[in-house]
A = this chain, B = another copy of it.
Amino acid sequence: MKIILDVMGGDNPPEAIVRGAIMAKESVSSRIVLVGNETMIREALAKHGADENDFDIVHSDGVITMEDGPMCIVQKKKDSSMAKALTLLAQGEGDACVSCGNTGALFTGATLIVRRIKGVRRAALATIMPYDNDVMLIDSGANVTVTADYLVHFAYLGSIYMRKVYGLEAPRVAIINNGEEKHKGTPLVLEARELMLGDEYINFVGSVEGQELPYAKCDIAVCDGFTGNVILKTSEGLSNYITDAAMAAIKAAGNASEEVLEAMEKIRRRFDSTEYGGAVMIGLTKPVVKAHGSSDSNAIKNALICAEKYAKSDVTSDIEKAFEVLDPLAQLANGGKNDSKK
Q: Which residues of A contact B (CB under 8 A)?
A: 66-67, 69-70, 104, 131, 141, 144-145, 176, 178-179, 181, 183-187, 189, 209-215, 225-227, 229-243, 245-246, 249-250, 252-257, 259-260, 262-264, 266-267, 270-271
Contact = CB atoms under 8 A, between A and B. Distances in A.
Contact of A243 (B178, B242, B255): B242
Given A215-B237, A234-B213, A235-B238, A259 B255 contact: yes
A252 B260 CA distance: 9
A225 B131 CA distance: 26
A262 B267 contact: no
Contact of A233 (B211, B241, B243): B211
B178 A226 contact: yes
Nearest to A176: B230
A125 to B, nearest CB: 11
Contacts of A212: 237
Contacts of A235: 210, 234, 238
Nearest to A227: B230
A213 B243 CA distance: 15
* Copies of this chain present: 2
A267 B246 contact: yes
A189 B225 CA distance: 14
Given A242-B267, A245-B270, A250-B260, A237 B255 contact: no
B253 A241 contact: no
Given A241-B131, A259-B255, A236 B210 contact: yes
Contacts of A270: 245
A173 to B, nearest CB: 17
A228 to B, nearest CB: 9
A260 B267 contact: no
A260 B266 contact: no
Given A66-B181, A236-B211, A260-B255, A250 B250 contact: yes
A299 to B, nearest CB: 15
A230 B210 contact: yes
20 contacts: A104-B183, A178-B233, A209-B229, A210-B231, A210-B232, A210-B233, A210-B234, A210-B237, A213-B234, A214-B237, A214-B238, A215-B237, A215-B241, A227-B230, A238-B239, A242-B267, A242-B271, A246-B264, A257-B257, A260-B260
